[in-house]
Amino acid sequence: MEQEQLYKYEVAFSFLQHDEVIAYQINDLIQDKIETFLYSKR
């Protein structure tokens, strides 16, 4: 099964530069359960 078909929802993070560390921490906690997107990673 392709990666796109494994997830029903996606989460995109919108944050200020000084909050980037927190956004990465949240992303790391949920990325195995739901597809996530951080603009600074892609």
Q: Where along the chain do its domains lie?
A: 3-37
The DSSP string of 1-42 is --HHHH-S-EEE----GGGHHHHHHHHHHHTTTSEEE-TTT-
Which residue type occupies 6? L
DSSP assignment, residue 41? Answer: T
d(CA 11, CA 41): 14
The pTM for the full model equals 0.64
| pLDDT, average across residues 33-39 | 84
**Percent of the chain whose predicted confidence (pLDDT) is above 70:** 79
Strand partners of residue 36:
11
pLDDT-derived band of residue 21, with 50, 70 and 90 as boundaries? very high
Identify which has the larger pLDDT, 22 or 41: 22
Six-digit token pair at 9? 């929802």
Identify which has the larger pLDDT, 25 or 6: 25
pLDDT-derived band of residue 29, with 50, 70 and 90 as boundaries? very high
